[in-house]
Amino acid sequence: MLIVVLFNFLLVMCAVYAFARGGAPERVVAAAFVAAAAASYAVIPAKGHFHGVEVGLLLIDAGLLAVLTGVALRANRFWPIWIASFQMFALLVHVARAYQEDVLPIVYFAVISRIAYPMLLLLAIGTARHFWRVRQYGEDADWCTRLA
């Protein structure tokens, strides 16, 4: 239970920081993280979960990957690429669980739940760097104007 409280605390702190100091990419990613976390709590069963592929979580992770990939393709930042990569790894863990049924439920749970911590760290670092660039140069473009 402590790990859930810690995650929720870090999620709220990173989201508040991103909304207060970040640009549009930081705010979009923070909102996506909060929405995905809320949806995850809604679909996780009370007992006996992670003995098979958690389809609800897989769909949430796929949706989050779509949002993060969109941000990574359009944002004028490098950190969204890393976050999208971490999310792709989380999605691949679901796929691996589908193909390899003897993966222990605790391992499956640990990997898909703990991958969020480095993603939150990247969001916080990306927000701090954006805030620094705005203070240093007066502006920091949020989105690329064209795809090259």
**What's the whole-number mean pLDDT along residues 14-24?**
98
Domain for residue 76, yes or no?
Answer: yes
Q: Which domain holds residue 69?
A: 24-132
Domain for residue 31, yes or no?
Answer: yes
Q: How far apart are CA 128 and CA 21, in angstroms?
A: 7
Per-residue pLDDT for 48 more than 70?
A: no
User: What percent of the chain has pLDDT above 70?
Assistant: 96
Domain count, the chain: 1
Domain for residue 8, yes or no?
Answer: no
Domain for residue 5, yes or no?
Answer: no
Q: What is the pTM of this model?
A: 0.93
Angle at which helix 116-137 crosses helix 105-114, to 10 degrees, equals: 10
Domain for residue 62, yes or no?
Answer: yes
**What's the whole-number mean pLDDT along residues 104-123?**
92
Distances (CA, A) of 24 to 33, 90, 105, 119, 141: 14, 24, 37, 17, 9
Would you give the distance in Å from CA 59 to the centre of its chain? 14
Domain for residue 148, yes or no?
Answer: no
Domain for residue 11, yes or no?
Answer: no
Domain for residue 113, yes or no?
Answer: yes
What confidence score (pLDDT) does residue 4 get? 86
How do residues 59-107 score in pLDDT, each as one tens digit?
A: 999 999 999 999 999 999 999 999 999 999 999 999 999 998 888 888 8
Spatial CB neighbours of 123, under 8 Å, sequence gap ≥ 6: 14, 18, 26, 29, 30, 33, 79, 83
